[in-house]
Copies of this chain bind each other. A is one copy, B any other.
């Protein structure tokens, strides 16, 4: 299609009529599709069903009875499994329950209530601020908002967050206490942080001594096409004497089961010691049988990698379909631009300014629920009202095709109507 941004008013009117009529046809079909959350589809979950019956021995390798109390920070063999998978020393790892969001929230709550490494509790540090690469993950922003931390959006570029801006804000303002990062296949753009970005995050000067990067490597092994390598930020930060800066999070939510997986965090030895001490007040320990279940199912990090290849194979046709439909329906129209992730769970699309909310509303009215427009920005406020997160993983292929077709139609229809307001 020709660029709608170049069209005359008459051409736009004609196109609006055509698109509207197609939209009404869609509405008549009574679709009911949910593309709102980054959930694996049932077929993908089936690939981990062996986990359900994997637990054959409730003893840890050292002979401890995992049914009973004890072992605060994770059974040693599950720490070793994560250690092998992510190349992090096992003694810098803590394994939690099933939710890494929970580990992040708890860590933020500890920083608020108690501070870290001898610095003042953040609740007593005045109005503190947080750097938020945008578009980003709504649940991250939810945690900082809940804590009353002022969020500062930082634009993303092809190598990650705009590091000139990040360095400036971190160096100048002591109240800037940290930053959210999804470094590999970022939610929702799919952007992967370059080595240079990782190095700059690890080495940059920060006015706050207790500046903390919440490094949510949620998609650390979730390659869909070729494998993208991420530079090791724990090592990079340690090399600069900034090892306490990094709080690393990971989970098997999108490896095994989102509803019953394992979450973990990793950090410097000093941070781990501090966290274990405080965590020991909060709980006697997390579910160790589920930890053993995962160890006895996977046995090795290599087996997890092999499993991720299967998951990637299952997701690839969905990512292909999204990319193809976007190109076919919106390519050259000027109505949108979008990302082409090589892994992870999302695709990010920018409509013309002022069109995201209306696009999502139109799609919903015709039976396709997208992630709410604005969700990818702090306080759910997208200043240009243009970003929409596409979550292609849950629907089956045929449904995904229908949903994407309708969605693209809505993007175009909105764009045309928007342009008509000023022409």
A interface residues (Cβ-Cβ under 8 A, vs B): 37, 39-40, 42, 45, 48, 52-53, 55, 58, 65-71, 97-99, 101-102, 105-106, 109, 112-114, 123, 139, 142-143, 146-147, 253, 257-260, 278, 281-290
Contact = CB atoms under 8 A, between A and B. Distances in A.
B143 A281 contact: yes
Contacts of A253: 69
27 contacts: A45-B65, A45-B68, A52-B58, A53-B53, A65-B259, A66-B259, A68-B259, A69-B259, A71-B259, A97-B98, A97-B286, A98-B286, A99-B285, A101-B282, A105-B281, A106-B282, A113-B113, A113-B123, A113-B147, A143-B281, A146-B281, A257-B289, A259-B287, A259-B288, A259-B289, A260-B288, A260-B290
B98 A287 contact: yes
Nearest to A55: B52
Given A97-B98, A278-B146, A69 B113 contact: no
Contacts of A109: 109, 113
Contacts of A143: 281-282
B40 A68 contact: yes
A65 B48 CA distance: 14
A222 to B, nearest CB: 16
Contacts of A68: 39-40, 42, 45, 257-259
Contacts of A284: 99, 101, 139, 258
Nearest to A109: B109
Contact of A97 (B70, B97, B259, B281): B97
Contacts of A102: 282-283
A42 B285 CA distance: 18
Contacts of A146: 114, 278, 281
A49 to B, nearest CB: 8
A277 to B, nearest CB: 10
Contacts of A287: 97-98, 259-260, 287, 290
A65 B258 CA distance: 10
Q: Which of A68, A106, A258, A259 has the most CB of B within 10 A?
A: A259
A392 to B, nearest CB: 16
Nearest to A70: B259
